Amino acid sequence: MANPQHNFLTAIDVGSAKTCVLVAEVTDSGLRYRGHGISESRGSRKGVIVDLEKAVASIQKAVEQAEDVCGAPIEHALLGVAGSHVRGMNSHGGLSLGTRAREIARDEIRLAVDKARAIPLPADREILHLLPQEFILDEQSGVHDPLGMMAMRLEVRVHMVTAGSSATQNVVTAVNRAGVHVDDTVFEPLACADAVLRADERELGVCLMDLGAGSTSLIVFQEGAVIHTAVIPIGGDHFTSDLSVGLCTPLAEAEKIKKLYGNVIVTLIPEGNEVEVPSVGDRPSRLISQRMVGEILEPRARELFEMLRDNLRHSGMLDVCVGGIVLSGGTSRLAGILDIAESVLRRPMRLSWPTALAKMPSTLAEPEYATVLGMIFYGHRSRIARGLQDTRWSSRLMGLFAKKGA
Ligand SMILES: Nc1ncnc2c1ncn2[C@@H]1O[C@H](COP(=O)(O)OP(=O)(O)OP(=O)(O)O)[C@@H](O)[C@H]1O
Ligand SMILES: [Mg+2]
């Protein structure tokens, strides 16, 4: 009898704030929700494990919840990788095919790709993704599949995403110790894009920004290919700690105030509104103006978007984003975030509402679950590409590019 779990796909997102496990089933009519589990992340900060035991326990909790809902053990998963240790860069490589144009063979394509990836990396870094942008045959750019075409010179442009080896390995170890084998890893915004970006945006030029708790990741697409990735070490936790210090209130209270009364545009907060702020120690709580909350949050939001703008500008990407900028992640729910982002970045902005799985609870259709949902779509796409590898060269090429590790 066929094992029904063979059709299950599991994604694990070990975020700075929450750990999320999502299980989907591949059916004839598409992907169907089977279960999920969410736990508060412990022992990990900004995508890096700082306390293995605590991290294992919170992953285990989310895994067990998901197992209870889907009624089956979770043995394998796709794991998300994020955090400031991840870096992106463009690279290219090429080779001469001779003095006369001749037909390009598979091995030559492989060799060109090998040359593009042959960049000396520090000992503690590994290649997470090698994403194709285009092949160039002599002077002709924009070729997607050069097999069988004629040229004297073959070049390839790729986007490489690298990650700290030990940072990545520690998250893999934590998931393994929670009893789940990691089949593959994915840079989280790359997966998130599968849940929130549309094909026309990717073609025209779009930037997806994942505003998490510990950091903000960004990915830029143009002509359907990834051309830039980066991580900025600021996320929602920084907003919360600013409020905690500024209002002299415990972090947990600052977090509640941020979600309930926060707005990153002071002038959008009605004058005269008041907020009760619990104090630290035995001191009584106080009433403060809601505008004071905005006065603390606005400079942090402005700083974050200025850093994002500078990153895009310095890499020549700001002008590429003609299709706009899409915000995802829990911090994108902060009131006023679209307004401030638009005023700093001067590009059309929108929030991300991830594509849902069939039968999925509506509580998961929120920006903070876009990454784990995208991981399911990405995992499904990779599985199809791998399945077709023996029959179609283009898929084989995708497999080659998507492969992990140098
Ligand atoms: N309604 C809300 N208003 C403001 N902030 C919110 C809201 N909901 C969640 N957040 C913030 O979003 C952040 C959590 O977002 P998310 O779940 O995307 O992070 P994460 O994936 O765990 O972290 P990271 O991606 O950095 O590893 C927290 O800082 C939280 O305070
Ligand atoms: Mg996240």
Residue 228 is assigned to a structural domain of this protein: no
Instruction: Tokens for 140, please give them.
Output: 């002709």
The C-alpha atoms of residue 70 and residue 320 are separated, in whole angstroms, by 42
Per the model's pLDDT, the better-predicted residue between 280 and 392 turns out to be 280
Q: Is residue 1 part of a domain?
A: no
**Residue whose token pair is 């415990």:** 250
> What rounded mean pLDDT belongs to the chain?
92
pLDDT tens sequence across 125-151: 999 999 989 999 998 999 988 999 999
What is the whole-number distance in angstroms between the Cα of residue 337 and the centre of ligand 1?
A: 13
Whether residue 96 contacts residue 153, with contact meaning beta carbons closer than 8 Å, is answered with yes
C-beta atoms surrounding 83 within 10 Å: 25
Is 357 part of a structural domain of the chain? no
Q: Examine the pLDDT at 398 and tell me if it is beyond 70.
A: no
> Could you tell me the CATH number of the domain that includes residue 155?
3.30.1490.110
Ligand 1 atom nearest to CA at 216? 26
Q: In this predicted structure, what is the pLDDT of residue 52?
A: 94
The answer, yes or no, to whether any atom of ligand 1 lies below 6 A from the CB of 259, is yes
Indicate whether 138 belongs to any domain.
yes
Q: Give the domain range for residue 123.
A: 88-162+391-402
Describe the crossing of helices 165-177 and 52-70 by its angle, rounded to 10 degrees: 50
Q: Please report whether residue 134 resides in a domain.
A: yes
Share of the chain above pLDDT 90, in %: 84
The pLDDT value given to residue 3: 56
> Is position 151 within any domain?
yes
Distance 291 CA to ligand 2 centre (A): 29
For the Cβ of 212 lying below 6 angstroms from any atom of ligand 1, the answer is: yes
Take residue 267 and report the two structure tokens written for it. 């002038």
Backbone angles phi, psi at 265, to 5 degrees: -120, 105
Give the residue carrying structure tokens 């890893």.
Answer: 185
Q: Is 300 in the pocket of ligand 1 (CB under 6 A)?
A: no
Q: What is the pLDDT of residues 41-67, one digit of tens each?
A: 999 877 789 999 999 999 999 999 999
Span of 25-34, 211-220, 277-286, 388-397 with lowest mean pLDDT: 388-397
CA dist 278 → 23, 48, 244, 249 (Å): 39, 31, 10, 6
- CB of 66 within 8 A of CB of 74? yes
pLDDT > 60? residue 404 = no
15 lines ligand 1 (CB under 6 A): yes
Strand pairing of 181-187 and 76-81?
parallel
Cβ–ligand 1 contact at 47 (below 6 Å): yes
* pLDDT of the residue at 373: 98
98 CB neighbour count, 10 Å cutoff: 9
Q: Is 262 in the pocket of ligand 1 (CB under 6 A)?
A: yes
d(CA 393, CA 229): 27
**Residue 369 beta carbon below 6 angstroms from any ligand 1 atom:** no
Mean predicted confidence (pLDDT) in 37-41 = 97
CA 68 to ligand 1 center in whole angstroms: 25
8 confidence band (pLDDT: 50, 70, 90): very high
The answer to whether residue 69 is domain-embedded is no
Q: Assess whether pLDDT exceeds 60 at residue 1.
A: no
pLDDT, tens digit, 9 for 90 and up, residues 248-282? 999 999 999 999 999 999 999 999 999 999 999 88
Ligand approaching nearest to the C-alpha of 329: 1
Q: Which atom of ligand 1 is nearest to the CA of 236?
A: 29
Overall number of domains in the chain = 1
Q: Could you tell me the CA-to-CA distances from 107 to 103, 110, 154, 296, 379 in Å, in that order? A: 12, 5, 12, 58, 27
**pLDDT confidence of 389, banded at 50, 70, 90?**
low
Q: With helix as H, strand as E and coil as C, how does 164-223 read?
A: EHHHHHHHHHHHHHCCCEEEEEEEHHHHHHHHHCCHHHHHHCEEEEEECCCCEEEEEEEC
Residue 113 lies in a domain: yes
